[in-house]
Structure 1
Amino acid sequence: MKLEKLVGDRFREKPADCVVESHALMLRGGYMKGVSNGIYSSYMPLRRITRKIEQILREEMDAIDGQEVQFPVVMPASLWQESGRYESIGKELMRFTDRNQTPLVLGMTHEEAAVQLVREYGQSYTRYPFMIYQIQTKFRDEARPRAGLIRVREFTMKDGYSFHTDQADLEAYYKRCLEAYRRIYARVGIPEVLAVASDSGMMGGSVSHEFMLLTPIGEDSIAICEACGYRANMEAAECIVRNVRDAVSHSLERVHTPDCHTIEELCAFFGCEKKQTCKAVVYQQNTDNRYVVLFLRGDLEVNETKLTNVLGCAVRPAEITPESGLAAGFISPCGLNADCTVLFDRSLQNTDNLICGANRQDYHYIGLDMARDVGAVEYRDFAKIAERGICPHCGAPAIHISRGIEVGNIFQLGTKYTEAMGMTYQDEDGNTHHPVMGCYGIGVGRLAAAVCEAHHDDFGPIWPVSIAPWQVHLCAVRADNDAVRACADALYEQLQARGAEVIYDDRTVSAGVMFSDADLLGVPLRVIVSPRNLKQGIVEVASRDKTFSKSVPLETAAESVMHILNGMMHQ
């Protein structure tokens, strides 16, 4: 491929609206162009990268007995009504009707389509287990697309679905997928990706893992124990609190606290720590607008994923009206008479001498003893795990919170979809059961962006050779020089004949422009032919990551380049 024929421009300036480097570099380097919010068209360099990623995905899925299929992008709403997700999923699911007024959806995930494809096939136990996968375009109407390909609305994804006769068989296959995913990340150049326990969310199921590339620009928060290595998404991490009651439990007393609406103002007023307070956080259920009051210790934050899992519906911060019966900023677990759902975080268990609201404007209680003053209530885990928090695995106060990009996920779905959609099989005794499912996803574009985040410098991406758009970037400096032109043309032909993927820059531009464009394309191996090099009878060969630069004899340049390239490919 000659660079002068490559469609797409490259720019030196960073776009003003880019918050992450991968987004900026892919726009600057002519990899993609924005079409709409969260929707992009891809130029050839990105397509070559994603095709290589897709091939790696196919090879690894085939290696664990996966069979490639393809589901439709547009599906009838009736499939999603069968599973119950047509009503339960919010605006992320794109719903529309065709000319016959038939309700349809754009696929954001394909569990329903997978069950529909195989539910007649899988009627006998003799046909299990099996796994089907696809690499397909999907659409999710994200409320806040950001960061280029990291969070988009239209995307390409590899998603696989396995079917089993029992949970034990699923768990055995799940481990195979876990190892396959580790191989995938190593092959694309980011072996440092971590598998972390996660919340299953709208997918359902009891066990799930996300694969995270730790980076400060990541959208997800990861709890990592520095003592034992425990890892979990903050949404799923258990928050453990150890309370010790004071030697003397004081009596409950109401105190005038003018203008103390927040925990910070309350602590300043009493000269106490946040952990000595009980705060109320108020939500409304999206389904019926009912108020939900959650009480927890004042130094902790609500984990809304845990809350919605318990409630079974989405929530939003409440708009507290005078008719609600709630005294905003002064809500108390003692004597609360409002019509609302009241929940208690277990951080309040075994506590006394707390400060809390008094259900009256400008008043708080001191001396709150939960057991004495509130009585027997159910305590559940609703709080976010915090920095230096207690590890749920080893019990050490060694939790560190890191940021990460999710680059894949796997779920043990159980029978959520097969039961809802009436998929059954008969065992060897003629008894009927619902198959057990697993689900395995990787976003192709997001994975490319994550690799770019992990491998770049100030000048452009540094693509691993396994997924680089080309393997060799041949630069003819001073291509208007007949000797340079003849040497570079010959080397171009020789490298291609030996199977190398070469992008050839023979434009009559300055060396600065040529090398700047080469940096933006990020090809791992650069070969430079120039008048100065020819005088010395050499060709310069350098790596994009600047780990080496060497001169090779002109007469053996093609063989030398291929030797270096083969070494990079087998590192």
Structure 2
Amino acid sequence: MRQSQILLNTLRERPSEADTEGHGLLLRGGYIRQLAAGIYSYLPLGRRVLRKIEGIVREEMERAGVQEVMMPSMQPAELWMESGRYGSYGKNLMTVNDRHGREFILGPTHEEAVTSLMKNEVSSYRKLPVKVYQIGTKFRDEKRPRFGLLRGREFIMKDAYSFDISEEGLDLSYQTMFGAYNRIFARCGLRFKAVEADAGTIGGDGGSHEFIALSAIGEDTVAVCGHCDYAANLEQAETAAWKGESNGSGGDEGNGLNTPQVDRDQPVAVDTPFPEKFHTPDIRTIDQLTAAYSLKPEQIIKTLIYRVGGDSVAVLVRGDHEVNELKVGKYLGAEDISLADGSEVETAAGVISGYVGPVGLELPLLVDYAVAEMMDGIAGAGERDYHFRGVRPGRDFPLTRVGDFRNAAEGDSCPRCREGRLTLHRGIEIGHVFKLGTRYSGKLGVVFLDASGRERNMIMGCYGIGISRLLAAVAEQNAGEGGIAWPDALAPFKVQIIIVSIKDEAQIALAEKLYGTLKELGLEVLLDDRDERPGVKFNDSGLIGTPQVVVVGREAALERVEYENRHSGVKETLGLDEAVLRITEHVKNSRI
């Protein structure tokens, strides 16, 4: 393609709307343009990259035996009410009403729609298993769209769904898709991790994995063991259990508030019969306490009050740890959980926030493993301007509900191998796979007749890839000072030819000859034939980011060009035939 004819306008400066390096370069390079907050147009270069991603996805879906379909973006709200997700998505749902007042949802995902489709298409075990996918636009009413394509209100997604007759069949479908996803992200040139994850609003309790592109600007944090292959999203990452004790699961009795798990005195460090109260005027935070009394955060027992439905509970973690609300909610079997505000704390604990402690607190106490292991600690005294020292778990407060209630931390022991240590990494979620089981088929009445003629619910899985997020993640990982160095598989063009001066007939003739030769070889070539200064052309070339660049300049009459490989950093002067050979060899070797 001739650059003089393509819709491509680069920007000299980073736009003020750009809040990450990759986002800024996508805007500067003429790949995307913002129409409204979280809503973007894809210009020709951006669309070419998207098509490369979609092509890889389609190839791997075909290889995995997944059939492509296309489902409507508009979904009847009744379907979402029937599945129970209408309320859980809440204000994130974008809705419209037709002229008859009937409400429709602009789909953020398609579990309900595909389940409804299969209800009418498959009735016998003989037609199972089935796997289908689509690539299309999704909608989510994000409260604060940011990071460009990474958190938008309109985005492109590949969503796939499997329907099986048994859990064993689902396991096979899941592993097939898991392998396909690993191949897709590897082919896109990403540095990524597959990590254990929570199912979130998608639901299902059969297990799930997220695929995380490693990036400092990512909103996700993942914990990775340096000794074994354990990796998990921070929300899901386990911490090593209290030695010799229960895993702290909430059991089968209601919300877990009245379910004793452990009742045992903890060994003590020194022989004192009770905690010692000391005066701490206007000291309410961990930082203030450690600074005033030369303490370490790990010596402090932090007591936080949570509202769970209409009840209050206290969660105890070490001062250097953070409560994991997802784990607390799972333990209690509750979705409606929130940190109590100041007035709620005072009502529940009888003292203002900052002085709440477990000693004598008449609330259910959820004690994190790390607190249960403490020999003694510092805690609020339940009285304004006072704390206790020498607080002993098991003696001064009960250990009846001990569990994993915190976020994993850097340096924690691996919960699987126990030998390795966890390291934390930031990343961008680019894919997620779920074992749904009968989460949707049961609620929407999607059944099949088995070999004995009995009705059974289909066993489902779902598998998503954020296509536009993937584009953004690749841009973030490959952003450089002058532009994005696109991986070969995704680059909008394989090679760019730059004519230094279009007034030089020898340069034009040689560039046209090279352009024609490469096109005949089936390569995607961008020819910069514009009447612009060389500096403008070179700056634009960096922003476009093709893997290989050929500069046709002053040695054109000798049929010699300057060749640059952006990935290897190699720059050399070559004859025309040598340049063609170098270009084609690189393209051949870069194919996965």
Which interval holds the TM-score relative to the shorter structure? over 0.9
Secondary structure of 2:71's aligned partner: coil
SS of 2:441's equivalent in the other structure is helix
CA deviation string 1:360-382 (max 9, x = no partner)? 21222333333233335222221
Q: Deviations over 1:93-144 (max 9, x none)?
A: 2234332221221111111111011013232111111111000100112233
Query: Once the 2 structures are TM-superposed, how far is the Cα of residue 274 of structure 1 from its aligned partner?
Result: 2.5
Pick the aligned partner of 2:556 from 525, 534, 554.
Answer: 534
Cα 1:534/1:123, change in 2 over 3 Å = same
CA change 1:309–1:201 in 2 (3 A) is farther
Q: Which shows bigger deviation, 267-276 or 427-436?
A: 267-276
2:385 maps to what in 1?
362
CA contact (8 A) 1:76 1:105 kept: yes
Matched, 1:553 2:575: yes
Percentage of identical aligned residues: 39
| Cα contact 2:431–2:464 (8 A) shared by 1 | yes
For residues 503-522 of structure 1, the aligned pairs below 5 Å read 503-522=526-545
CA drift of 1:353 comes to 2.6
1:407 corresponds to 2:406: no
Shift of 1:438: 1.1
Ranges in structure 2 where 5+ consecutive residues have no aligned partner: 244-265
User: Could you tell me which residue of structure 1 aligns to residue 251 of structure 2?
Assistant: none
Greater alpha carbon shift after TM alignment, 273-282 vs 57-66 = 273-282
State the match for 2:328 in structure 1. Answer: 307
- Indicate the residue corresponding to 1:116 in structure 2: 116
Tell me how far 1:237 sits from its aligned partner: 0.4
- Conserved? CA contact 1:161–1:440, under 8 Å: yes
Q: What are the residue-to-residue correspondences of 1:26-425 with 2, within 5 Å?
A: 26-190=26-190, 192-206=191-205, 207-240=207-240, 245-248=267-270, 250=272, 251-284=274-307, 291-310=312-331, 311-321=333-343, 324-326=347-349, 327=351, 328-337=353-362, 342-396=365-419, 398-425=421-448
> Residue type of the partner of 1:393?
R
- Cα distance in 2 for partners of 1:270, 1:569 equals 60
What residue in structure 1 maps to residue 456 of structure 2? 433
Deviations 1:297-316 (A, max 9, x none): 22211112223434532544
Q: For 1:362 and 1:324, how far apart are their aligned partners in 2?
A: 18
Q: Quote the offset at 1:72 in angstroms.
A: 1.3
Indicate conservation of the 8 Å contact 1:491/1:557, yes or no.
no
**TM-score normalised by length of structure 2:** 0.90
CA contact (8 A) 1:471 1:501 kept: yes
Classify 1:528/1:353 alpha carbon distance in 2 versus 1 (closer, same or farther; 3 Å).
closer
Secondary structure of the 1:136 match is strand
1:417, CA displacement in angstroms? 1.0
Partners of 2:7 and 2:521 lie apart in 1 by 26
In the alignment, does 2:27 pair up with 1:4? no
Deviation at 1:236, TM superposition (A): 0.5
- Measured in 2, the distance between the counterparts of 1:453 and 1:127 equals 43
8 Å CA contact 2:372, 2:399 repeated in 1: no
Contact 1:479 1:506 in 2 (8 A): yes
Q: Which residue of 1 aligns with 2:258?
A: none
Count of aligned pairs between the two proteins: 564
Pick the aligned partner of 1:456 from 479, 483, 487: 479
In structure 1, how many angstroms separate the alpha carbons of the residues matched to 2:300 and 2:537? 63
Match of 1:487 in 2: 510
Alpha-carbon separation, structure 2, partners of 1:558 and 1:267: 65
Q: Is the 8 A contact 1:249 1:369 kept in 2?
A: no
How far is 1:4 from its partner?
A: 1.8
Of residues 346-355 and 297-306 in structure 1, the stretch that sits farther from structure 2 once superposed is: 346-355
- Cα RMSD (Å) of the superposition? 2.3
Q: Which moved more, 1:341-350 or 1:133-142?
A: 341-350
TM-score where L is the length of structure 1: 0.93
CA change 1:542–1:275 in 2 (3 A) is closer
Q: Give the match's secondary structure for 1:492.
A: helix
Shift of 1:154: 0.9
Q: How far apart are 1:329 and its partner, in Å?
A: 1.3
Q: Distance in 2 between matches of 1:258 and 1:533?
A: 80
Deviation at 1:511, TM superposition (A): 1.4
**Structure 1: which 5+ runs fail to align?**
none
Equivalent pair of 2:506/2:557 in contact (CA under 8 Å): no
* Aligned partner of residue 70 in structure 2, secondary structure: coil
Q: Could you give the per-residue CA deviations for residues 173-194 of structure 1, whole angstroms, max 9, x where no partner exists? A: 211111111111121122x321
Superposed CA offset, 1:160-213 (max 9, x none): 0001111111112211111111111121122x3211111111112231111122
